[in-house]
C-alpha cells in the first residue's frame, strides 16, 4: 500500500478508465484504512505514556492496539479486499467487452 498502489492485472489507468466509481471507492477506502491504522497506533502510544519511565509493561497500550486492529482494522481490511476484487472484476469485464 505504501507508494506502490494495489497490485493486480489491471493498470491504474485501466482502473480509472473502465470503472471510475469503483476506483474512487477503493482509493478512498485505502486512505481511510491507513488513517484508521495510524489512529489506532497513536491511541496505543498515548495509552502507554504513563508506563514509559517505569518498569511495568504498558499493558493498556497493547490492549488498545490489539483490540483496535482486530475489531476495527481487520474488518476494514476484509471489506477493502472484497471491494478491490469486485472492482478488478468489473474492469476486466469492461476491457473484454470493449475488445470484442
Question: How buried is residue 71: exposed, middle or buried, by Cβ count under 10 Å (0-12/13-18/19+)?
Answer: exposed
Residue 75 is predicted with a pLDDT of 95
47 in a structural domain: yes
43 in a structural domain: yes
Residue 93 is predicted with a pLDDT of 87
What are 12-65's pLDDT values in tens digits? 777 777 778 888 899 999 999 999 999 999 999 999 988 888 888 888 899 999
User: In the chain, how many domains are there?
Assistant: 1
70 in a structural domain: yes
Q: How many Å apart are CA 11 and CA 23, to the nearest integer? A: 11
41 in a structural domain: yes
Residue pair 65/44 in contact (Cβ under 8 Å)? The answer is yes
93: alpha, beta or left? (left if phi > 0; alpha if psi -120 to 50) = alpha
- pLDDT for 84 beyond 60: yes
Domain of residue 65 covers 12-99
5 in a structural domain: no
6 in a structural domain: no
Q: What are phi and psi of 2, to 5 degrees?
A: -85, 105
Residue 3 is predicted with a pLDDT of 54
7 in a structural domain: no
4 in a structural domain: no
Global pTM reads 0.76
Amino acid at each position: 500500500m505504501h507508494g506502490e498502489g494495489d497490485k493486480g492485472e489491471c493498470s491504474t489507468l485501466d482502473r480509472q478508465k473502465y470503472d471510475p466509481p469503483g476506483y474512487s471507492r477503493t482509493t478512498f477506502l485505502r486512505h481511510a484504512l491507513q488513517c484508521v491504522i495510524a489512529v489506532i497506533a497513536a491511541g496505543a502510544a498515548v495509552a502507554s505514556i504513563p508506563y514509559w519511565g517505569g518498569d511495568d509493561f504498558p499493558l493498556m497500550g497493547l490492549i488498545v492496539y490489539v483490540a483496535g486492529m482486530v475489531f476495527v482494522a481487520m474488518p476494514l481490511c476484509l471489506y477493502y479486499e472484497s471491494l478491490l476484487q469486485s472492482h478488478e472484476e468489473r474492469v476486466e469485464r469492461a476491457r473484454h467487452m470493449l475488445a470484442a
